[in-house]
Amino acid sequence: MQHTQRSHTLTSLKPQTTPRHQLRAEKARRNKEAALAAFIGKKAEIDEMLARLQALSDDHFNCHPDEVGWAMVGTLEHYNGLLKRITDSAFGEGEYAR
């Protein structure tokens, strides 16, 4: 009979979720939700910047062909360098090559 009671007691024990564990789990869930919201927000900002840059490029950077000079070439070279750093970082190229 004792063996049966012990066996029943061992199988009926279930791990209890402690309040501390529940708090940690809830905090982790909220943290993950906040990270996702921040990610989506930053992605939207990048998408907006890319759209603006594309529109500016489509309009030849607001420069009429008769107005092109070395100053504008220098400006585009500067933009190009900044964008190259971003694309190199994003794709693991250039100085960011893995």
DSSP class per residue in 32-72: HHHHHHHHHHHHHHHHHHHHHHHHHHHTGGG--GGG--HHH
What mean pLDDT is predicted for residues 78-93? 97
Task: Give the global pTM.
Answer: 0.72
Kindly list the domain boundaries of the chain, sorted by start residue: 17-58, 63-98
62-76 pLDDT tens trace: 999 999 999 999 999
Q: Which residues are within 8 A (CB) of 92 and not within 5 positions of it... i.e. 6 or more apart? A: 98
pLDDT tens by residue, 40-58:
999 999 999 999 999 999 9
